[in-house]
Amino acid sequence: MGFLEQVAEDEERCEEDQRADDDLRREGQGDRDPEQADRADATWGKYTKVELSPKVKYWQEAFRNKRAAEIAAYKERAAAK
């Protein structure tokens, strides 16, 4: 399995896990500590803006550009088959 196929599979698995977590929360069966839940509810919306350092911004952009190029190359190879 190639890198991009693995990335796609990992993303799908993460989405499935998130859906399962969401279902548990809706059913009230999540494993959240009530005190932790109260703290989370008290701070919800308090931190709405996050600013990355210049170094982190650089690496984030470099990774996104590299990933976009790899995905484009994969799609081009897949279309050529």
Residue 5 lies in a domain: no
Provide the token pair at 67.
């990933």
C-alpha neighbours within 13 Å on the C-beta side of residue 47: 6
pLDDT of residue 65: 96
Structural domain including 61 reads 50-81
Query: For residues 77 and 5, what is the distance between their CA atoms, to the nearest angstrom?
Result: 13
* pTM, rounded to two decimals: 0.41
Q: What percent of the chain is predicted at pLDDT more than 90?
A: 35
- Give the model confidence (pLDDT) of 3-27 as tens digits: 778 877 878 887 877 777 777 666 6
When divided into structural domains, the chain yields a total of 2
Asked whether residue 37 falls in the same domain as residue 55, the answer is no
